[in-house]
Amino acid sequence: MRMPIPDANIIAQRSEIIERLQQIVPRGEFGDSVIIDSAGLRAYECDGLSAYRQLPLIVVLPETTAQISRILTFCNEIGVKIVARGAGTSLSGGALPLADAVMLGLGKFNKILNIDYANRAVITQPGVTNLSISEAVSDADFYYAPDPSSQIVCSIGGNVAENSGGVHCLKYGLTTNNLLGLEMVLMNGDIIKLGGKYLGSEGYDLLGIISGSEGLLGVITEVTLRILKKPETARAMLIGFNNAALAGDCVATIIGSGIIPGGMEMMDKLAIEATEEFVHAGYPSNVETLLIVELDGPVVEVSDLIARVQNIANGLGSNYIRVSKNEAEREIFWAGRKAAFPAIGRITPDYYCVDGTIPRARLPEVLIKINEMSQKYKLRVANVFHAGDGNLHPLIMYDANELGELERAEEFGREILLLCVDVGGVLTGEHGVGVEKRDLMEKVFTEEDLKQQQRLKCAFDPNGLLNPGKVFPTLHRCAELGRVHVHHGETSFSDIPRF
């Protein structure tokens, strides 16, 4: 992975930058709000893509939107880059620091500001964890639908930045489908508000642009989310097959029949065994592939759908079917799936999580090819999929202490992603591009496609200071893209990293 060459001029100004940031965000009740010592900075040196590490120039921990506005205004004036960070759970290097950039930690933005059941909306700060939203409205029988496996720790602001998904997004949508409004600070310090507690909006769909923008357009300081009433009932099914291709056919047949489950996940034998040993969810040991299918809604409807799914599975040769008898059993079925990543972490020194999306009908052939790649690279892989929407999460196991294994794991992951594109899919389903897939973007988009996307970035961030080095394999200056930013009668461009 190539990182931009640090700006020596900015590094030389570190003392002055620290002094100014300390004036904007003074020491708080629990200690310094500007972190400058190497031990303190080390806590921010990587995100969930932990194979790469870099100490940030400085970390600042603001508490108010006004402070963020002043920080960005100052950094914009002197050309200092900004990398915003939520919980640091990004799996694509989206929050990876830069040596010449100020890292803006949003951990103190951790309050739910308003719960409005009449409008089915919650207003929250970006540092609140995903699961906390559902917990806050649970007593009123509401919940927040997008549920990434990391929901106990990942933050809402990061969910918006990456357009995160989860096991129940097949039926209820990704973050963007549950986002009603937000407040965001632009690089020049302007504070903008978009959307609100309503379902319509005039003008351009700026919410859609910002969702999944990976911190390249602004710093999110407030989010308005849609909450849903809990379904009358929900039941989960475990469906086992001795053949992964048959499991893939079952997924396609269920969807093709008009049934849209609340969630539909797939795990291969290695993932099943590791997870069962870790969680004891009651998964069968005599299957090669396991589907977890959840049906929700009115009791009568759910009973009918379960019978229809059972008929489909039996018709395709399923050798194991089990239906949850109560809520506790349903939850333990899902607890196993959501613990798949840490379960794999118990049986290997390191693993690399790939995130790509393919058409559902291509699942069987992609599974076969991934297993062939596993033999080619001599690295084990456990497959965990959001099968209903074709989102793959192969977990490539390796040992970073063994010479060359990290590089083999990366090449293995690259080949999986290229396979996703070859069969009509895309590079990411929910983890974002970050630095991990940045250099593969040209496999999906033409140069003109990428330039058009960068023109949009120029409209929000003319000097290219927000999270540079992410998403785009080659970052052009705004002038090169046909847009000149004039400020006080002069044209000025910072040293945007070029690769």
Is 226 in a helix, a strand, or coil? strand
- The Cα 237–Cα 283 span in angstroms is 11
What does the pLDDT look like over 484-496, one tens digit per residue?
A: 343 444 433 344 3
215's tokens: 């911190």
- The Cα 252–Cα 250 span in angstroms is 5
CA 235 from centre of chain: 27
CA distances from 246 to 62, 265, 288 (A): 52, 14, 10
Residues across the chain: 499
In the CATH scheme, what architecture does the domain 233-341 have? 2-Layer Sandwich (3.30)
Q: Which of 248, 239, 269, 242 lies closest to 359, judged by CA?
A: 248
Given this chain, do its domains 112-229 and 233-341 carry the same CATH topology? no
Q: What is the dihedral of CA 348, 352, 358, 362, to 10 degrees?
A: -30
CATH topology assigned to domain 8-105: 3.30.43
Outline where DSSP puts E strands in 70-211: 81-85, 101-105, 112-116, 121-124, 142-143, 179-185, 191-195
70's tokens: 């002043």
Q: Give the model's pLDDT for residue 1.
A: 59
Q: At a CB cut-off of 8 Å and minimum separation 6, what does 301 contact?
A: none
Q: So where are the chain's domains?
A: 8-105, 112-229, 233-341, 348-441, 449-491
CA 243 from centre of chain: 30
Q: Give the model's pLDDT for residue 140.
A: 98
The predicted model scores a pTM of: 0.91
Q: Give the model's pLDDT for residue 69.
A: 98
Place of tokens 């785009």: 472
Q: For a pLDDT cut of 90, what percent of the chain falls above it?
A: 84
Q: Give the model's pLDDT for residue 5.
A: 80
- The Cα 298–Cα 158 span in angstroms is 33
State which CATH number among 1.10.150.120, 2.40.10.120, 3.60.10.10, 3.30.70.2740 fits the domain covering 348-441.
3.30.70.2740
Q: Give the model's pLDDT for residue 483.
A: 47
- The Cα 230–Cα 232 span in angstroms is 7
CATH topology assigned to domain 112-229: 3.30.465
What does the pLDDT look like over 81-113, one tens digit per residue?
A: 999 999 999 999 999 999 999 999 999 999 999
Cβ count within 10 A of residue 436: 30
Cβ count within 10 A of residue 102: 26
- The Cα 156–Cα 177 span in angstroms is 14
Outline where DSSP puts E strands in 170-280: 179-185, 191-195, 219-226, 228-229, 233-241, 263-268
Where is 448: in which H helix or E strand? Answer: helix 447-460
Residue numbers of the chain with a pLDDT score lower than 50: 483-499
- The Cα 196–Cα 191 span in angstroms is 15
